[in-house]
Structure 1
Amino acid sequence: MSNDHADQLQQRLQTLHADIASTGEVDPELKDLLHRLDGDIKTLLDRRLAPDAGALEPTSTTYGLAERSQELSARFAVKHPHLEPALRELGNMLSSMGI
């Protein structure tokens, strides 16, 4: 993953967090799922930017992040339709990176 892609991904995550913060109440289950996805994406970015740094850390699953993002997008579309486009875009970005 290039630094440009990593920067874009981090920027997308920041935007998503800002959107969620402005939304108000998001149900705990969706918030937990999003938090796990966010953590896994950050772990992936850390490994890509500094591969030796994570050598001793326990591994986190980063397989299928694009699919997980799309699933969250579908779930948010029902209760929080204004957040769905940001999640869909995140999923598309991950998918285009082959993640």
Structure 2
Amino acid sequence: MTTESLKNALQKLHATLESGAPVDEKTKELLRDLDSEIQGILAKTPEEIAEQPNPDNPVSLVQSISANLAARHPHLEPVVREIATTLTNMGI
């Protein structure tokens, strides 16, 4: 997987959020944190990612968000799951 796949998944998330479906404030905050983590990853080169893995592991953040979304916001869960898969396939 490339960073392009991650960018595409992040764009899908933004589009889904902008669709107007209601999202509670806690979920919005978690998604903002996720966006920030992913933006930090995207700012790195593939070599930097391989050399310096993120100690906070955004995959665990994605997994906790995904569990929350599955119950409360099922329309967002597939997009977040795609982000988790992409991060995992990138070795993050």
TM-score by shorter chain over 0.5? yes
Contact 1:37 1:68 in 2 (8 A): yes
TM-score, normalising length: structure 2: 0.82
Identity %: 37
* Higher RCO by CA contacts (8 Å cutoff, separation 6 or greater): 2
Structure 2: state its 5+ residue gaps: 49-53
Gapped regions of structure 1 (runs ≥ 5): 52-60
After the TM superposition, which segments of 4 or more aligned residues of structure 1 sit over 4 Å from their partners? none
Partner of 2:45: 48
Q: What is the TM-score of this pair, normalised by structure 1?
A: 0.77
Question: Is the radius of gyration larger for structure 1 or structure 2?
Answer: 1
Letter matched to residue 9 of structure 1: L
* Number of corresponding residues: 86
Q: Distance in 2 between matches of 1:94 and 1:5?
A: 9
Q: Does 1:94 align with 2:75?
A: no
